[in-house]
């Protein structure tokens, strides 16, 4: 009987980086909750020594990037593509989880809006991590 060669499984996780805010856009404008969460992220960043970053997903949403920066985002992770023209929770969750896997943020802030509540639950379920929402 052949015994398979054991595989090395690396269980170390790369160091987490950044306080992320999942941006919401309503009628081509930045949602108020996003501005509020960026303000909280800036406060946290001072004590945690982390950068504030925003995740912006949608189609033709580039025009809100200056607003994200003005409210404290030091970096914007942009996914601007036709499939994100309509909000489909599962597609957005999949995109956020892929970004999280690549960059390992320390904190992900998601607004407690109808869209944010469902999306944060899907992200947490796919990534097995807690999410923090505005109340």
Residue 49's pLDDT is what? 93
Residue 65 CA to residue 74 CA, distance in Å, equals: 11
For residue 36, what are its two tokens?
């509020």
For residue 9, what are its two tokens?
């499984």
Largest Cα separation within the chain, whole Å, is 65
Residue 17's pLDDT is what? 83
pTM: 0.82
Q: Is 19-133 in CATH node 3.40.50.300?
A: no
Query: In 71-109, which ranges are continuous DSSP H helix?
Result: 89-103
Each residue's pLDDT expressed in tens, for the chain with a length of 135 residues: 444 444 444 444 455 589 999 999 988 899 999 999 999 999 999 999 999 999 999 999 999 999 999 999 999 999 999 999 999 999 999 999 999 888 889 999 999 999 999 999 898 887 655 555 444
User: What number of other Cβ atoms are within 10 A of residue 119's Cβ?
Assistant: 24
For residue 32, what are its two tokens?
């108020």
């Amino acid at each position: 009987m052949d015994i398979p060669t054991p595989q090395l499984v690396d269980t170390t996780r790369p160091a987490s980086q950044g306080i992320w805010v999942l941006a919401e856009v309503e009628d081509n404008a930045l949602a108020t909750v996003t501005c509020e969460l960026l303000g909280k992220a800036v406060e946290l960043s001072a004590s945690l020594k982390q950068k504030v970053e925003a995740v912006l997903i949608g189609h033709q949403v580039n025009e809100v990037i200056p607003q994200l920066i003005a409210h404290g985002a030091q970096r914007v992770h942009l996914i601007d593509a036709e499939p994100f023209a309509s909000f489909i929770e599962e597609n957005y969750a999949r995109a956020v989880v892929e970004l999280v896997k690549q960059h390992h943020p320390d904190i992900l802030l998601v607004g407690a809006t109808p869209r944010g509540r469902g999306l944060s639950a899907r992200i947490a379920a796919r990534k097995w991590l807690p999410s923090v929402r505005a109340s």
